């Protein structure tokens, strides 16, 4: 007992002279070490403290390393958890208040402290003429409203096939609610499906976010773990919207999640992000192609009601030939905009002449953008799944059952189920009812082209 009293007196004496954040953090670490000695165990880890307090591990790390000053209520709870005695709690609380006052009195921040931070406004421009997706916007609104009572960060995952408008929806909605996030809006393209560039490393994304807040490069830690801790500490007391566009998988996203419940994250991906939904409770919104009315509204938004209304039959054929896919519709609308004197019937005729294939879009989009974006998903497939995708092009009906798909690809049913699951994960097919799979006509045309060049004549 005498040893404990001596240790308590020593801690109280040290606390009496502390007036810096670094000194306060050292007191907390010292208290944690003493708690371990008295309980004859090891020191509590950041995660264990987080589990006991419902804070994030990153926030706990910020308090114990001196990168963040705990609010009064959290500081009191933390020192009690670490075994501070009754007479010590008041001295430690006074030290914490002294540090807070000293930080307010400083005319300029010391070199080791974060500077006055900016409010980032990183959202790219919203898509002109955005239309449709009313139910999905409402779902995102509901997710935002639950964030005010949530104990964890709210995550919305916008998922779907290439060209279906995931990024357009995410950015449109982000602009719509930007005023609800006074702490700022962060945006990054994670390049998850871009064969021309490698996926963005989370460390690069975090450094970009810290720079957006105005954090000098000299104050950004070298290790990813420390960067993540600083990033989460900065966002802990701020209400920030984070848009993570074109994510490759859940692991790329998970590192970039804020730790506290005041932030909202919107992720877009061609992957299902199943583990993010399961482990982090992300709200999944799966986008399909537009309905007929929504697709027509897209053309109206790009070309004007008068031009579309003057040729309703041609406009309807363009919608059908584009398989109601937003990217295909936007490509055709772009050509119509560049040639305002061309009748829509002429554009519809160009698409009709291609017989439903992607070649019809070559005259409309010489860059071959449709093929390119489809290829980004196709190139990520295993060889067997790619062969299954090409085989499905030969199915004459609107959809196909699992046993028939397996037979068509020449594999056993369990193998066929695994390959179809891989295709569905990449959003190259859709299981629209249990056990039956389909894809839209432009993906079918792409699979047909691939089969013509990749599969031997005998296989076809």
Domain that holds residue 255: 134-278
Rounded to whole angstroms, the Cα distance separating 347 from 338 reads 12
DSSP, residue by residue, 411-447: --HHHHHHHHHHHHHTTSSEEEETTEEE--HHHHHHH
In a domain, 207, yes or no: yes
Residues 142 and 237 in one domain: yes
Residues 268 and 329 in one domain: no
Q: How many domains does the chain have?
A: 4
**Pairing between strand 430-433 and 241-247?**
unpaired
End-of-domain residue from the set 333, 366, 399: 366
In a domain, 223, yes or no: yes
Q: What is the pTM of this model?
A: 0.68
Q: Please, what's the b/e burial string for 47-68 (b: 16 or more CB within 10 A of its CB; e: otherwise)?
A: eebbeeeebbbbbbbbbbbbbb
Over residues 393-424, the pLDDT tens digits come to 888 778 899 999 999 888 999 999 999 999 98
Q: Are 190 and 244 within 8 A, CB to CB?
A: yes
End-of-domain residue from the set 220, 249, 278: 278
Spatial CB neighbours of 428, under 8 Å, sequence gap ≥ 6: 161, 377, 378, 381, 389, 439, 443
Structure confidence at residue 155 (pLDDT) = 93
CB atoms within 10 A of CB 100: 17
Segment 73-77 shows an average pLDDT of: 90
DSSP3 helix / strand / coil % (the chain, rounded to 5): 55, 10, 35
Residues 228 and 163 in one domain: yes
CB atoms within 10 A of CB 428: 27
Rounded to whole angstroms, the Cα distance separating 431 from 33 reads 55
Spatial CB neighbours of 293, under 8 Å, sequence gap ≥ 6: none
Segment 53-62 shows an average pLDDT of: 79
Spatial CB neighbours of 218, under 8 Å, sequence gap ≥ 6: none
End-of-domain residue from the set 311, 332, 366: 366
Residues 355 and 377 in one domain: no
Segment 107-120 shows an average pLDDT of: 59
Residues 13 and 32 in one domain: yes
Residues 170 and 53 in one domain: no
Rounded to whole angstroms, the Cα distance separating 344 from 333 reads 10
Structure confidence at residue 14 (pLDDT) = 82
Spatial CB neighbours of 181, under 8 Å, sequence gap ≥ 6: 239, 240, 241, 264
Task: For residue 403, give the CATH number of its domain.
Answer: 1.10.10.10
Residue 20 has pLDDT above 90, yes or no: no
In a domain, 121, yes or no: no
Q: In what order do the strands lie in the sheet with 400-401?
A: 400-401, 436-438, 430-433
Residue 172 has pLDDT above 90, yes or no: yes
In a domain, 31, yes or no: yes
Over residues 174-219, the pLDDT tens digits come to 999 999 999 999 999 998 887 667 888 988 999 999 999 988 887 8
Residues 73 and 146 in one domain: no
In a domain, 116, yes or no: no
In a domain, 110, yes or no: no
Rounded to whole angstroms, the Cα distance separating 227 from 256 reads 10
Rounded to whole angstroms, the Cα distance separating 281 from 286 reads 15
Structure confidence at residue 186 (pLDDT) = 97
Segment 375-400 shows an average pLDDT of: 87
- Residue 313 C-alpha from the chain's centroid: 39
Segment 236-258 shows an average pLDDT of: 92
Residue 6 has pLDDT above 70, yes or no: no
Over residues 293-335, the pLDDT tens digits come to 999 999 999 999 999 999 999 999 999 999 999 988 988 898 8
Structure confidence at residue 360 (pLDDT) = 67
Rounded to whole angstroms, the Cα distance separating 19 from 102 reads 7
Structure confidence at residue 54 (pLDDT) = 83
In a domain, 127, yes or no: no
Residues 161 and 228 in one domain: yes
In a domain, 128, yes or no: no
Task: For residue 210, give the CATH number of its domain.
Answer: 3.40.50.300
Segment 124-140 shows an average pLDDT of: 87
Spatial CB neighbours of 35, under 8 Å, sequence gap ≥ 6: 43, 44, 82, 83
Residues 311 and 409 in one domain: no
Query: In this predicted model, which residue has the larger pLDDT, 260 or 273?
Result: 273
């Amino acid at each position: 007992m005498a040893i404990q009293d001596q240790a308590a007196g020593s801690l109280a004496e040290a606390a009496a002279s502390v007036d810096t954040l670094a000194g306060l953090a050292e007191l907390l670490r010292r208290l944690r070490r003493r708690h371990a000695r008295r309980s004859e165990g090891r020191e509590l880890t950041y995660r264990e403290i987080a589990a006991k307090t419902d804070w994030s591990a990153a926030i706990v790390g910020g308090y114990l390393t001196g990168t963040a000053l705990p609010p009064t209520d959290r500081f009191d709870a933390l020192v009690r958890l670490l075994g501070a005695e009754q007479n010590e709690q008041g001295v430690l609380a006074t030290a914490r208040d002294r540090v807070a006052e000293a930080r307010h009195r400083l005319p300029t921040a010391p070199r080791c402290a974060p500077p006055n931070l900016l409010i980032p406004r990183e959202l790219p421009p919203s898509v002109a003429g955005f239309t449709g997706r009313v139910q999905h916007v409402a779902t995102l609104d509901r997710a935002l409203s639950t964030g005010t009572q949530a104990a964890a960060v709210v995550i919305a995952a916008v998922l779907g096939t290439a060209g279906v408008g995931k990024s357009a929806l995410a950015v449109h909605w982000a602009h719509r609610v930007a005023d609800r996030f006074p702490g700022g809006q962060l945006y990054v393209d994670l390049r998850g499906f871009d064969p021309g560039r490698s996926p963005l490393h989370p460390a690069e994304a975090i450094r970009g976010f810290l720079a957006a807040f105005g954090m000098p490069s000299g104050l950004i830690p070298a290790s990813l773990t420390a960067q993540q801790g600083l990033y989460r500490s900065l966002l802990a007391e701020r209400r920030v919207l984070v848009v993570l566009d074109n994510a490759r998988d859940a692991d790329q996203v998970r590192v970039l999640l804020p730790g506290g419940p005041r932030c909202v994250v919107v992720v877009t991906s061609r992957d299902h992000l199943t583990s993010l939904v399961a482990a982090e409770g992300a709200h999944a919104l799966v986008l399909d192609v537009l309905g007929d009315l929504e697709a027509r509204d897209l053309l109206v938004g790009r070309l004007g009601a008068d031009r579309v209304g003057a040729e309703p039959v041609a406009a309807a054929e363009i919608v059908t030939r584009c398989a109601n896919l937003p990217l295909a519709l936007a490509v055709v609308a772009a050509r119509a905009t560049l040639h305002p004197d061309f009748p829509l019937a002429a554009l519809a005729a160009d698409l009709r002449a291609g017989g439903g294939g992607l070649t019809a879009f070559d005259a409309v989009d010489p860059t071959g953008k449709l093929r390119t974006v489809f290829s980004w998903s196709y190139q990520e497939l295993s060889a067997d799944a790619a062969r299954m995708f090409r085989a499905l092009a030969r199915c004459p009906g609107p959809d196909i059952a699992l046993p028939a798909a397996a037979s068509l690809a020449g594999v056993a049913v369990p193998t066929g189920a695994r390959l179809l699951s891989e295709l569905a994960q990449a959003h190259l097919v859709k299981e629209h009812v249990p056990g039956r799979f389909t894809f839209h006509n432009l993906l079918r045309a792409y699979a047909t082209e691939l089969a013509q060049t990749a599969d031997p004549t005998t296989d076809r």
